[in-house]
A and B are shown apart, each in its own frame.
Chain A
Amino acid sequence: MGILLRTEAMKVQWSIVILLIFLDTTVNAAMGIMQLDSLKEFFMPNWSTLYMYSVNFHAMFFYPLYCGILASLLCLYEHRDGGWRTVLSSPVPRYKFYYAKYLLLILILALVQIIFLLGYLCTGYLLHLPGVIPWDVLAYTIVGGWFGIFPLAALQLILSIKIRNFGAAFAMSICYVVPNIVLTGFHSSIGAWFPFTIPYYIMMPQTASYAPRVEFYSLWFIVLLTGMVYLFSGRRFFVRRDWL
């Protein structure tokens, strides 16, 4: 499995991945700084407020979108020039390739979270923000947000394997993410059934003024349940599929 993960990583165009991650970090930092300034009459500029602004766009838009883009990217190489044929005529059980792809996808998504966090901390230090850094909130939302993307990652992987066209997959990811503004307005016990809303429910701190209505246990139950269902149906689909 370690070797498969390594070969999968070898196929990735890391320059694109790094570019995407830095785009996310820069945009969110910029949004944070701007809103911190323009909304200073409503919310006191401090570490918590900056986090609310930064995470707003990241969790609502970038993170689920990147999940889709990265999943498509991982499969793009295989679709383009018959890579699946080489992969699947290797003497390795099919499910291992599926898990290697999934594992790499969520590892890159972990990297996205880490860089986002670092970007937030850098911005805060640069602005000499008052108050304390809300480490416990950061820990829960960054790690939790990562877990929360697992179901979507599994779903996007299935779609990326099915859809050969990168452009179509990309357009679909955007179509997913746009209604997030509306869907995250619902209570989490309804909205979280749509996997692209989950990162927002988890990552927007409940103490923040923008906080969605979240019920902790049902939310995590949905994450676990949908995550398992997508992951295992993806595996089943991948193993049984006719590779034409």
Chain B
Amino acid sequence: MAVLSTVDVTSSIVGFARALRAAGIGVSSGQVEAFARAFEWLDPCSLVDVRLTARATLLCRREDAALFERVFDAFWLGASPRRPALAKMPLAPRHRVEARPALAMLLAERARATDPERTVRDRSLARSDDEVIGRKDFALMTELELDAVRRLFEQRRWQFATRVTRRKVARSSGEELDLRRLCSRAARGGGVALKLPRRTAKIKQRPLVILADISGSMELYTRVLLQFMHVLRRRLADVETFVFATRLTRITSELALQNVDHALDEVASRVVDFASGTRIGECLHAFNTQWAGRLLARGAVVIMMSDGWERGSAEQLKKEMRILREKCYRLIWLNPRLGRTDYLPRVEGMAAALDHVDDFLSCHDMQSLEAVARHLELLPRRRGGQPSLSLYATSSGSVA
């Protein structure tokens, strides 16, 4: 039991706040002040009281609770924190150990092995090269070409579908009278408003959720698709990202790093099931029960990136796809195999899922991803609606 003298209470409080911050739990000075003031009403010799008070005042999200308890024990009881507590803190990129084979390097190694003869000079700024890159399958690309793809991602302007919210903002061309401003204008103008102030509904970007398959059968595409996710995550507001093979992992915070290599390294160190088998149905079930309620309100768009090779039951996959589609505004499936001219969705899992997909597009080369990007900008206004004709022609053109 921790017994505190009145003298060192303050320094203990401050020290504990520092320990929390060091472990990655953000604590504001206002919270620390509240904790200190709370000592007035609690018995500082009772560890239970101190613990509950600390929890009420300093902890502000449930996810941090386990880490919080460990830091608490370490600080007030002198127990040495177990390793996992430290492992939660990501190393700054400059401190990273270089020896670890990064995902990017591994995949580049494999890409090179499939295409050993070709030597390519870095002429990626030349236009003709862009065109070659545009139509080349990601799976066949060399390291240099993949770099060029990355540059193309970075240079592009990314936009995403919007929705009409129920919040109103002032706009002169709005459809509704702004009575509040009308009255204040009229009062100032001696009873006459020279111009009628109007307001209209605010437009916001839709939330986007990306679920990417990183199992063995997708391996050759994983790197590019992760880069694609990274650039969307960085450029758009409100993007959530997950990867799955045999289990679902949320990688939104990992992809927040600015440098794409560091971000992908971070993902590689976090994800345990790279290039393993696939259980799409089970992973979707995990998403539907744990995350869907939190992320799919407000008209979210969901993108699934997978080839549909399912080791689990196709029946379950079908059911989960139906539930997922009920909950989101639009469900888009990207399949790199769709790029092959002879492709038919014969894989059992893919055939099962297709019934519940709004759009089925390819993602095997730069052109098809461009088509996807255009598609995302121009999603139809109504749920389940058909995309506009011109767009349909371009996207299906790249698919065929």
Q: Do A and B come from one complex?
A: no
